[in-house]
């Protein structure tokens, strides 16, 4: 299974560099897939012809989307958009859906997925009265609970509530067309969604950071490489 993993960019040593935490690639490898880093520029240049070579995709975490993509003005807490990445990942989602490829959308990824399907975002959770979703602890520390929704892929992985890590100040608002909630935090923040009848699943936490020690987290990547 050839799995494309999207990348972000970071400014380092006087130049822009593509970046991807190695744990994304390691989690895909451990699940039996073959990960391939996919920069936004490669997606935009290659288009559907390139993307159809892949069996599935991971939409990785990163910065905030441009709020104009979902019809809102930017909140003061919203970060600067990375326009090529926004465009590339929206294109990828369209191609993945058209070709019925598996898609695991993580943190920023679940937000891009929701916007691609016509949904919107809560731009700043603390301003909206939600706290405890952007933790200060180490990335692999699991600090808050997700409650699975029955008959969802998340419930199939773990019928009981479980702990996850959390590094987001934004979250899903209005759901995109066809998306169904698969898990929520106790305060009601949407933590997972899926597309019934499609191999598409999104989670708001970062399972790649602790997939090496968690059956639930590793199960998300096994789902990715076996669902189609």
Closest C-alpha to 104, from 221, 212, 228, 198: 221
Report the b/e string of 53-77 with b at 16+ CB within 10 A.
ebbbbbbbbbebbbbebbeeeebee
The residue annotated as part of the active site, out of 82, 168, 206, 216, is: 206
Assess contact for 189 and 171: CB atoms under 8 A.
yes
95 is catalytic: no
Checking phi first, is residue 188 left (phi over 0); if not, alpha (psi -120 to 50) or beta? left
The residue annotated as part of the active site, out of 82, 89, 191, 208, is: 208
Backbone angles phi and psi of 29, in degrees to 5: -60, -45
107 is catalytic: yes
The residue annotated as part of the active site, out of 107, 133, 168, 191, is: 107
Write out the two tokens for 95. Answer: 């191609």
98 is catalytic: no
> What pairs with residue 139 in β-bridges?
none
Cβ neighbors of 157 (< 8 A, separation 6 or more) are 148, 216, 219, 220, 223
C-alpha distances out from residue 37 to 26, 28, 60, 174, 224, Å: 12, 11, 10, 30, 16
Closest C-alpha to 227, from 124, 94, 112, 101: 101
Catalytic residues: 107, 206, 208
């Amino acid at each position: 299974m050839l799995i494309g993993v999207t990348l972000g960019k970071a400014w380092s040593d006087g130049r822009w560099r593509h970046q991807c935490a190695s744990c994304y690639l390691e989690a895909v490898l451990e699940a039996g897939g073959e990960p391939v880093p996919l920069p936004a520029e490669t997606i935009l240049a290659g288009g559907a012809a390139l993307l159809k070579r892949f069996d599935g995709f991971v939409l990785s975490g990163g910065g905030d989307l441009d709020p104009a993509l979902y019809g809102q003005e930017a909140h003061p807490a919203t970060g600067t958009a990375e326009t090529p990445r926004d465009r590339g990942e929206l294109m990828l989602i369209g191609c993945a859906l058209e070709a019925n490829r598996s898609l695991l959308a993580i943190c920023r990824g679940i937000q891009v997925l929701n916007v691609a399907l016509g949904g919107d975002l809560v731009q700043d959770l603390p301003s909206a009265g939600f706290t405890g979703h952007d933790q200060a602890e180490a990335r692999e520390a699991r600090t808050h609970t997700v409650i699975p929704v029955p008959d969802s892929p998340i419930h199939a992985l773990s019928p009981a509530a479980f702990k996850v890590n959390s590094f987001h100040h934004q979250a899903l608002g209005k759901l995109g067309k066809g998306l169904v909630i698969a898990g929520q935090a106790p305060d009601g923040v949407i933590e997972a969604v899926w597309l019934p009848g499609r191999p598409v699943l999104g989670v708001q936490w970062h399972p790649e950071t602790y997939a090496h020690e968690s059956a639930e987290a590793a199960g998300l990547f096994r789902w990715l490489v076996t669902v189609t």
